[in-house]
Amino acid sequence: MSHYDAVVIGAGQGGGPLAGAFARAGRRTALIERAHVGGTCVNEGCSPTKTMLASARVAHLTRRAAGYGVLAAVSGIDMRRVRERKQAIVDSFRDGSQGGLDRAGVEVIRGTARFVAHRTLLVVSGRDVRRLTADLVFINTGLRPAIPRIPGLSDTPFLTSTSIMELDAVPDHLLVLGGGYVGLEFAQMFRRFGSRVTVLQRSAQLLPREDLDVAQEVAKLLAEDGIDVRLEAGVTAVSARDGGIMVEDRGRSKAEVEGTHLLVATGRRPNTDDLDASAGGIALDERGFVRVNERLETTAEGVYALGDVTGGPAFTHISYDDFRILRTSLLEGGRATTAGRLLPYTVFIDPQLGRVGMTEREAREAGRSVRLATMPMSLVARALEVDETRGFMKAIVENGSNRILGAAVLGLEGGEIAALFQIAMMGGLPYTALRDGIFSHPTLAESLNNLFAAMDRTSQ
């Protein structure tokens, strides 16, 4: 048996930095990881997908080159080269994460961990078994793709968000189950690589957490890109047929859809199956997520959870903020919590959808008195200059305080523009500070002047 001051289960974007912080503070620290250091973000999520999206954008711009007065053509897509470029980025980031742990003095233990008692773990790697105890244990085991129970699916070859990035060739016709962030990013990516793409979304809109006007505009631009979007799809069966895949949609379209490849992007589930959490006194919710309070404490004393496995927003920056909360509370003598933190995120379709704070729907359901500032990207000078005018900007402003409660930017560099709203919200600034701010011309930032000036004119 080995005893540690701290044991972290999972080397994701919260667990890795936390282990390093404890080790640098002089605490004997072990990090248990059964796959790759860096977690989903580095290995199967943010880094590889955004690298491949960059390749797809180059293909897209090359096809549009004549409109800019440039003579160019896409003669084909080398998916092996796309994949190699993706993997080089992954390897580089993974090595960087491993190097940081080594320099901090973290003991990295390879294997699968499970609880056998309070703050007591068995780590199994092949025939090797180690028993660990610790003063503090941190669960950072993340998520994996959730596979729905659809008749025939288990007998049909399908892709997940991980395996689709290993394709050697562009699919002729890609079927995408799910109209969330992951499904839409891959749908547009492979459409730009040259695939026919059909998206089957169960609900009445894409991106169900977004306001309806935002979701409708997203659907519009995807249709402009040649993607077949089918809402209220009721997929009742999947089967392999004549070298292809057949999906029965008994929803709104009541039709069969045949493709060559099927991507299942219907959500993610927590990696807690092998954890035997109850043996450690740790409660899970009905979906298998670890129950935590605003201090990220589980139901077991001295055991914490962070990142996606807690059931909160599944974003890298939220996982990293969880790390900061625990570092502040346990190593720096502070008292940080998750209460009241802003939630920014970006959907990396092109143009991007950047979001922060409350949606209009959330604000109205909360009983807030609000007014809206909206403006099409076609009125943004910078967007006109680069010929990307699709989308619009939307800010939710509270009456009385004039504070910005939230914003959505579907447009050129939407994620970066949303960050400007977030900074104003962090500082508690009224919208007038952005309306009257001096931003350099011609930049996307100066569009905030016109956005809020237009709101004032229509409010008068």
Cβ within 8 Å of residue 94, ≥6 positions away: 36, 37, 38, 42, 43
441: annotated active-site residue = yes
CA-CA distances (angstroms) from residue 243 to 163, 166, 169, 195, 246? 19, 20, 16, 17, 10
Cα–Cα distance, 162 to 181 (Å, whole number):
14
Cβ within 8 Å of residue 29, ≥6 positions away: 4, 5, 6, 7, 8, 19, 22, 23, 105, 106, 107
- Amino acid (1-letter code) at residue 99: G
286 burial (CB, 10 Å; 0-12 / 13-18 / 19+) is: exposed
- Amino acid (1-letter code) at residue 102: D
Q: Which of 36, 261, 317, 441 is catalytic?
A: 441
Cβ within 8 Å of residue 424, ≥6 positions away: 404, 431, 433, 434
Angle between the N-to-C axes of helices 46-63 and 79-104, in degrees from 0 to 180, rounded to the nearest 10: 150
What number of H helices and E strands is found in the chain? 12, 21
Cα–Cα distance, 194 to 172 (Å, whole number):
8
Catalytic residue IDs:
441
